[in-house]
Amino acid sequence: MGQYDREQRAFATTLRALSYLMRYPDTQWRSHLDEVGEAIVDANALSHARLERVGALIEQIRQADALDAEAAYVELFDRGRGTALHLFEHVHGDSRERGPAMLDLIATYEQAGLAMRTDELPDHLTVLLEYASTQPREAAVALLGEVAHILRRIHGAVDKRGSAYAAVLGALLELAGKRADALEPALEAEAEPDLDETWQEPAAFDGCGNQGQQGGQSQAVAGQPQPVRIVRRAPNAESPAAHSAAQGARA
């Protein structure tokens, strides 16, 4: 295996492992935690400092009571828009643009040879990462760069709450070549009202065809999904419509 192939595999493995860490920590999830931690270390795609922080998160969850870990996850990610893992929540909110953007995103995954599970939403961060892990490294880095402003916002909100989950967001920003501590304008000024899977690749999809594994990027073709552009929402402006090429999901 050549150097490029090794780096590609390490990058993809790291993306899948980080995706796994952001999923709901049920009993089955916990049974694979050690394996995921070892995979991240063996891949060695992150800096030593990031590896230590991710390792600290894994150890914290391992030592926590199972019910406490599950409750903490729900409280952190399901009860506040600033920490929501559904990326279109940060771009479109509850606007009518979100539905068409979801359909475009599903079409993008299918174009790559990936079939969504019926209990997954396409804009969840974990699904985006699984999709990115099937793409060439350069394309995956570019995709992470597209959503870096959202990742940084979530990272800031999670870190402000003192949660070790910030380590995963910081690791993703590092893979994107971005600083986790860089100042990022808020996507929109809004309050945060309360809002009343296994280590297999890719977990959010029923199957993965060869098309999504091919290197290189194809030219845009009429009638086919086009790359998603997730941009900051301008103040007092209508949310931009996303087109298609990646973002993640958890029901």
User: Over the stretch 95-135, which tens digit does the pLDDT of each residue have?
Assistant: 576 778 778 888 888 888 888 777 778 889 999 999 999 99
Q: Which two tokens stand for residue 179?
A: 């600083």
Q: Which residue has the tokens 């098309």?
A: 211
**Helix (H) or strand (E) run with residue 207 in it:** strand 205-208
Q: Is the pLDDT of residue 232 over 70?
A: no
Which strand (E) or helix (H) includes residue 68?
Answer: helix 66-77
Q: Which of 91, 59, 75 is nearest to 24 (CA)?
A: 75
What was the pLDDT predicted at 1? 65
Specify the pLDDT at position 119: 74
Name residue, tokens 């809002």: 195
Residue with tokens 């050549």: 2
* Angle made by CA atoms 159, 163, 168, in degrees to the nearest 5: 75
Q: Percent of the chain having pLDDT more than 90?
A: 52
ω into residue 122 within 30 of 0, thus cis?
A: no
